[in-house]
Structure 1
């Protein structure tokens, strides 16, 4: 058993954005080709508590060296006010030869970067020469989204920020200037001001229910709807919709789930990201309405990045090895 903590995972992944993008792209294409097994996530919720949850995401990824595993990720939004990260996660990889667990990895960084890579791949697959992006929600996920967007949308020059806490927006902006550099940073005074600022938008919030119909967005805008519950059903129904997996995303009261309940079908979903990346479906960003990418977040993506981390960590000689873990 190889054990990797957060610092070691980051040591492997820092500067490896292109490799993460490649791993996530491959996982999406394999998923579209039926070479993954991704059971529905299991949500553990608690009595008299509608905010906190822990989610289990088991998966199988049929690469040349197949791997199975499970991510166990918690979301406790109250952590932010106490100076802690909202999410924490652990991931176990299993051998497909013996079923034995082979690695235990701290996985919040893996989860954030595979999520960001997913959004960045969608932006690359649906290009429109964007020179700016608006980030709604100034937390870990949108920082990673911006990091990966700079890889797939190199024309970006400006980032506009909006968060319910202006203090958090301003701190986020300072971090962008310090760590990413080369971008003009603006802080929007309202959600609508952010939505009208650019034709590329990323939502990564802790919203539990829809709060905007995105009417301030200009036609031709691509929304990377990473947090899945910000947009009203009406916004979804009038848009071109790309998802990672229709069965996964139309559940757990996501915006698409609410849209499905409203109309009684899923015909408003136009394509999956795996189909676009694999070339089996051709789709362009709509010029006259919104295009919305809604990724539920498949466990197979976590496996792809975790396997990359585990392999490189072993080659680098980092991590803790417990050869007698199973006794």
Structure 2
């Protein structure tokens, strides 16, 4: 078995943004073609604790070299105040020849980067008549930092970023980190979430919100809202937008904003498309220039498999990780 720790994974995926986006794109295409298996995620919650959870995401990806596996990811938002990352994860890849586990990877980096790659892919698939030169990031944590990394790879014309976080110190720290890594970027910190929503027509929500609290009334017409945290927008706001998801059955669960919208509407007719179906087309989809387009990806386990498999291939080339010959 190949074991890749956190630093091994980071080294294996360093500078691989375009390869990761392509791996995510191919996973969505395979899903649209019926060449995947994605059982519903299992949410482990705890008595008298509605904030913390651990989720199991089993999946099968029927690519040219098929693979199965499971990600076990914990979300403990209180970690942030203790100086720890909110999420931690481990991922097991199984051989489809023998069923035996063949790799164990630290997976918080994989989880963050596949989420960011999905956001960047949506930004280049749901295009506007005018190119996006600015973006607003709401929530100054790991996910939006990776989103910025991947948006810069996918949209090289991106030059201005407006940030907002309820914690001003986190926003300041985020700004400093971005300025150090990308000194050419113009970085602004908004005073209110409404100011951030209005600043650009490309907006990413990556917060720890547990219940809906936002509308898109401050957004410009034609905005693309990357709703990664899934629980920020009120149900009526969702119903008013043009909704694109990765998988309707998965995203309409566990009290997400779309799940609540489904309960309000009593159907899923408000979802206009799944991204895999759009990718099967020959051209990017022009988004509505008058309404807000909302992209809400659940984060399918096949994306984790695709990026983990890529990390293993690159780790093998770089001689990274530890091989355990007698695991079984």
Q: State which drifts further: 127-136 or 224-233.
A: 127-136
Tell me what 2:90 maps to: 90
Tell me what 2:233 maps to: 231
TM-score by length of 1: 0.98
Q: Which runs of 5+ in 1 are unaligned?
A: none
- Counterpart contact for 2:125–2:284, Cα < 8 Å: no
- Deviation of 1:312 (Å): 1.6
CA distance in 1, matches of 2:42, 2:3: 24
SS of the residue aligned with 1:196? helix
Tell me what 2:213 maps to: 211
Output one character per residue of 1:186-226: Cα deviation in whole Å (capped at 9) or x when no partner: 00000101001000000000000011111100110000000
Q: Which runs of 5+ in 2 are unaligned?
A: none
Runs of 4+ that moved beyond 2 A = 280-283
CA distance in 1, matches of 2:134, 2:240: 24
CA distance in 1, matches of 2:37, 2:155: 31
CA distance in 1, matches of 2:92, 2:48: 30
- Deviation of 1:180 (Å): 2.5
* 2:127 is the alignment partner of 1:99: no
CA distance in 2, matches of 1:286, 1:243: 16
Tell me what 1:151 maps to: 153
CA distance in 1, matches of 2:171, 2:89: 25
Tell me what 1:296 maps to: 298
CA distance in 1, matches of 2:278, 2:191: 35
CA distance in 2, matches of 1:20, 1:30: 15
- Counterpart contact for 2:162–2:196, Cα < 8 Å: yes
Q: State which drifts further: 306-315 or 278-287.
A: 278-287
- Counterpart contact for 1:43–1:55, Cα < 8 Å: yes
Tell me what 2:56 maps to: 56
CA distance in 2, matches of 1:227, 1:85: 16
Tell me what 1:130 maps to: 132
CA distance in 1, matches of 2:42, 2:279: 28
- Deviation of 1:317 (Å): 1.3
How do 1:141-290 and structure 2 match up within 5 A? 141-279=143-281, 283-290=285-292
SS of the residue aligned with 1:117? helix
SS of the residue aligned with 2:285? coil
Aligned residues: CA RMSD: 1.0
Aligned length in residues:
326
- Counterpart contact for 1:243–1:294, Cα < 8 Å: yes
